[in-house]
């Protein structure tokens, strides 16, 4: 497992060289395929947040791990006016400030924000596709505690994770925790789970599937995305099926979206 300073350097370098969907997504599959993948993510995010009945015009929104600002854009589309984004890297924050002049951005480590976030001052917090990159368990729980302290009682926390039913998986730059481990950490941070739904099904690594299927499907995805042209075609073909699957299934072998409420 990499040390925190090494992970920060990794993401600083990666986002400095590739501030696109592939830089923050499944890089091995190329940008064209990731663009299609993020279209599915966007639809699921908008659909689930819209069901909460939030009046985002008067809400304060915090987006954690903003990256390229993909979910900052989604919040703006949903009507949010007051948005604070944050990211671990200077490479992302510098560009985010130029891309979203009406929003505000801070460079901070959510596991140790050092007083940068006012307590109980946000109505909604999102942490999308980033928590599994906190590879130190104590720092992961600290990040959730920081988020719990930032959101007001009754406020909403939207996150995406892999929520494994199988044993956890640990790598240098990503740790996939089990569903019970994550829900226990959320409970410790003061959150109650409202619901959990698939965000992707086939268009991402099958981390919670049988190892044979995971290896076969992963190999196929990498084979059909060897070039940007074939990656675009593969994404275009999978996109309509993926949209149906995320609506029809209750469990996913890959990334899921969870909505929580602060006690």
CA 60 to chain centre: 19
Question: Is 82 inside a domain boundary?
Answer: yes
Report the CATH number at residue 60: 3.40.50.150
Q: Could you report the per-residue pLDDT of 117-153, keeping only the tens digit for each?
A: 999 999 999 999 999 999 999 999 999 999 999 999 9
Q: Taking a C-beta distance cutoff of 8 angstroms, is the pair 192, 261 a contact?
A: yes
Domain extent, residue 173, equals: 4-24+55-201+250-262
Question: Is 88 inside a domain boundary?
Answer: yes
The total number of structural domains in the chain stands at 1
- The DSSP bridge pattern shows strands 151-161 and 256-262 to be antiparallel
C-alpha span between 149 and 29 (Å, rounded): 37
C-alpha span between 85 and 64 (Å, rounded): 6
Give percent of the chain above pLDDT 70.
100
pTM of the entire structure? Answer: 0.96
Question: Is 115 inside a domain boundary?
Answer: yes
C-alpha span between 46 and 122 (Å, rounded): 19
Q: Could you report the per-residue pLDDT of 215-244, keeping only the tens digit for each?
A: 999 999 999 999 999 999 999 999 999 999
Question: Is 42 inside a domain boundary?
Answer: no
Question: Is 245 inside a domain boundary?
Answer: no
Q: Could you report the per-residue pLDDT of 60-75, keeping only the tens digit for each?
A: 999 999 999 999 999 9
Does an H or E element contain 213, and which? helix 211-224
Q: Which residue in this structure is represented by tokens 């592939």?
A: 22
Q: What is the phi/psi pair of residue 69, to 5°? A: 85, 15
C-alpha span between 228 and 4 (Å, rounded): 33
Q: Could you report the per-residue pLDDT of 194-218, keeping only the tens digit for each?
A: 999 999 999 999 999 999 999 999 9
Q: Which residue in this structure is represented by tokens 């790598």?
A: 171
**What are the residues whose beta carbons fall under 8 Å from the beta carbon of 3, sequence distance 6 or more?**
none
Using the predicted structure, report yes or no on whether residue 91 has a pLDDT greater than 70: yes
Using the predicted structure, report yes or no on whether residue 2 has a pLDDT greater than 80: no
Token pair listed for 55: 């009046």
């Amino acid at each position: 497992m990499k040390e925190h300073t090494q992970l920060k350097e990794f993401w600083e370098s990666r986002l400095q060289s590739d501030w696109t969907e592939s830089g923050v997504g499944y890089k091995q599959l190329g940008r064209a395929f990731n663009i299609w993948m993020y279209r599915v993510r966007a639809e699921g995010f908008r659909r689930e947040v819209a069901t909460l009945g939030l009046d985002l015009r008067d809400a304060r929104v915090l987006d954690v791990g903003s990256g390229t600002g993909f979910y900052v854009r989604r919040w703006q589309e949903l009507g949010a006016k007051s948005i604070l984004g944050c990211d671990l890297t200077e490479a992302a924050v510098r560009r985010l400030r130029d891309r979203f002049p009406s929003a505000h951005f801070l460079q901070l480590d959510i596991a140790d924000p050092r007083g940068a976030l006012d307590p109980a001052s946000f109505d909604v917090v999102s942490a999308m596709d980033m928590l599994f990159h906190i590879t130190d368990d104590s720092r992961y729980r600290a990040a959730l505690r920081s988020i719990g302290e930032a959101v007001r009682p009754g406020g909403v926390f939207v996150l995406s994770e892999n929520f494994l039913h199988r044993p956890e998986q640990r790598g240098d730059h990503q740790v996939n925790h089990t569903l019970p481990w994550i829900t226990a950490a959320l409970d410790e941070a003061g959150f109650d789970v409202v619901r959990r739904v698939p965000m992707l099904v086939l268009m991402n690594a099958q981390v919670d599937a049988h190892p044979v299927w995971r290896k076969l499907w992963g190999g196929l995805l990498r084979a059909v995305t060897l070039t940007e042209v074939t990656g675009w075609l593969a994404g275009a073909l999978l996109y309509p099926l993926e949209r149906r699957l995320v609506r029809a299934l209750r469990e996913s072998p890959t990334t899921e979206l969870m909505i929580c409420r602060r006690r």
